[in-house]
Amino acid sequence: MSLLSVVPIPTPANVLGPAGLEHDSRAVERLLWLVRSHLDAEVAWVSAFADGQQIIHAASGEIAAMNIPVGEGTDLQGSYCTRVVAGTLPPIIADARRHPVTRDLPVTRELRIGSYIGVPWHGPGGATAGMLCCVSRNPDPALDGEAVRFMTFIAELIGDHMGSPLAQQRQTFHRATKMVKAVLEQRAIKMVFQPVIKLADGVTVAYEALARFNPDIFPSPDRAFAAATQSGLGTDLELLAVQCALERLPDLPDETSLCVNLSADALLTAAASDMLLAHAGNQLIIEVTEHAQIDDYAKLRHALKGLRSAGLKLSIDDAGAGFASLHHILQLQPDIIKLDISLVRGIDTDPARAALARSLVSFAADTDAELIAEGIETAAERSRLAELGLSYGQGFHLARPADLPGPRSNPANQPDATPSHRPGR
């Protein structure tokens, strides 16, 4: 890699606009080149501190030769930088392999550091937010106080760019990507299952698999999947959630189905198709989520054709919530239609909601589809929905998401009940 080499900061187009990103990155790149050239250092980098880690956002120089981990998080406690900020290490280390502190640090060997100089840059509130550093593989006795003053001046300029809204968005992106990757690597998903019951007698006919995450990292599942999508890992997280749900199929109570959620983008992947076909049968229902717009219905129908031929059922949610969901229903002709919570809420006292629900009951009957009401939270809503002709429901009033009860131990089912057909069968 040449002496003038800058690794671009990895940022998705939907987080930073190309024009803003180009302006922000070029300014930082020029400043890194300037400080590296002025000090005759092999590498200059700018990093940010977040969640106990140091993330090098941009670097200039012999990056590969010195193993500089651009875009990756490294343990802050093992770095020179945290010691400089704490005052236990001077900003200049002219000979890192002889210094009594740095000679024993693993990072000295890992990055092949012979000499180091580092100064902090500060965020808008004045707190230390990261470091501007220069390193070389050989000792450099010429580093002095003048070099520190020059670095401090450049750090102030870089801090203006790093503290900009664009840079803060970039740092948020890096943190989100790091957290999502950790979930994927550790399979840190807990699956819970919310029953779908027959409104007439309370018999459970299906369970919807729902992903849950460490609330200290992702307070809600929506945030986890949004972060994954922003990081370009949305499909990976969806497939992991489905895989975790399918692993629980042996625990599924008798005469019930399992419903898993997948976006259209995920359904178009070979990985999703292979995973679902490996568990094909009438026990499995695919619910198409609306996290992303469906651009090619023909392509999606083709992908679903093989799955449905193998016995999997198709469900569309949010019916009645708007034109998009109704368009999905017309285009995909699902086996199951889920009535949106916005239509269910207060249906016992709202004639307009009741009239719309009645029309969807008629539509479902005419298209040979089952209809499930989502988000039932009161006995009055359940009673009114049953009066309108809905056979199935789901919601906190009926049952909250929980673990599966296990085969032949479904507490919602009567032991002597005659097995009833499941949605989509």
With vertex at residue 418, the alpha carbon angle to CA 259 and CA 379, rounded to the nearest 5 degrees, is 65
16, 310, 326 from 264: Cα distances, Å: 25, 19, 16
Instruction: Quickly state the pLDDT bin for 321 (edges 50, 70, 90).
Output: low
Cα separation, 225 vs 218, in Å, equals 9
Say whether pLDDT at 14 is over 60: no
Structure letter (DSSP) for residue 6: B
Residue 414 has pLDDT above 80, yes or no: no
Tell me if the pTM is above 0.85. no
- Mean pLDDT over 34-38 rounds to 94
pLDDT tier for residue 168 given thresholds of 50, 70 and 90: low
Higher pLDDT, 19 or 224: 224
Determine the pLDDT at residue 267.
94
CATH number, domain 18-168, options 3.20.20.140, 3.30.70.20, 3.30.450.40, 1.10.760.10:
3.30.450.40
Q: List, in sequence order, every residue forming a beta bridge with 122; answer none if it has no partner.
A: 128
Quick one: tokens of 40? 């005759």
pLDDT at 415 over 60: no
pLDDT (tens digit per residue) in 239-263: 999 999 999 999 999 999 999 999 9
18-168 and 187-393: identical CATH topology: no
Mean pLDDT (the chain) is 85
Closest by CA to 384, choosing from 424, 365, 410, 357, is 357
> What is the structure's pLDDT at 323?
58
275-309 pLDDT, tens digit each: 999 998 768 999 997 655 677 899 999 999 999 99
Domain topology for 187-393: TIM Barrel (3.20.20)
For the chain, give every domain's residue range.
18-168, 187-393
